[in-house]
């Protein structure tokens, strides 16, 4: 398990076979400790993460019912604030602020996992992904939560994207997993 602290905005570069475990371990302590976990992911990854959490002893239906496990679809969520291929800051706040505010009312820690940025990257909207990372940093100034973003390691290994990937890494307080060597000089300390 990797270590993230309160208020961290971490990024993980993952292999497909390890995502559910990495994210499940990250979210488990929030749910089991009386806090909340928010997942903004693809249907496949939401199912994999839920299955992992269930296997780790979390009563997923009960956690979902009491608001300590919130599942959002990445595409549906982005449709609310990505307009003409760019994130609209006001629409992002209107979309995510109520979700994070509700999670913050739980007595324990709040952990958010998002892969909207990876979906944008895969769509060729690399600059939009970088802008979305910045919006997450802004909203984290308002609400106490820890954020984990995820990018498939293979999808971000193109040398042509090294400048954008460096921007992604610099937008995070922690980098988990090994990003392509072309950006390792940009990693946060």
Average pLDDT for the chain: 87
Radius of gyration of the chain (CA): 15
Backbone angles phi, psi at 38, to 5 degrees: -115, 130
- pLDDT (tens digit per residue) in 62-86: 999 999 999 999 999 999 999 999 9
Percentage of the chain beyond pLDDT 70 is 83
Structural domains in the chain, sorted by start: 9-186 (3.40.50.300)
3-state secondary structure of 158: coil
Contacts of 18 (CB under 8 A, 6+ apart): none
């Amino acid at each position: 398990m990797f270590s993230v602290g309160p208020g961290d905005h971490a990024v993980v570069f993952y292999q497909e076979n390890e995502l559910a475990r990495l994210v499940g371990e990250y979210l488990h302590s929030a749910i089991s400790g009386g806090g909340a976990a928010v997942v903004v992911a693809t249907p496949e990854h939401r199912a994999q993460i839920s299955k992992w959490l269930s296997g780790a002893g979390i009563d997923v239906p009960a956690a979902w019912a009491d608001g300590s496990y919130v599942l959002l679809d990445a595409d549906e969520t982005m449709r609310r604030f990505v307009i003409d291929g760019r994130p609209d800051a006001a629409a992002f706040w209107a979309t995510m602020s109520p979700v994070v505010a509700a999670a913050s009312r739980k007595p324990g820690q709040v952990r958010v996992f998002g892969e909207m940025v990876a979906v944008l990257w895969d769509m060729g909207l690399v600059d939009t992904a970088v802008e979305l990372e910045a919006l997450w940093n802004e909203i984290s100034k308002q609400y106490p939560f820890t954020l984990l973003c995820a990018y498939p390691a293979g999808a971000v290994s193109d040398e042509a994207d090294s400048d954008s990937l460096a921007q992604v890494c610099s937008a995070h307080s922690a980098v988990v997993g090994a990003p392509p060597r072309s950006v390792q000089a940009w990693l946060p300390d």
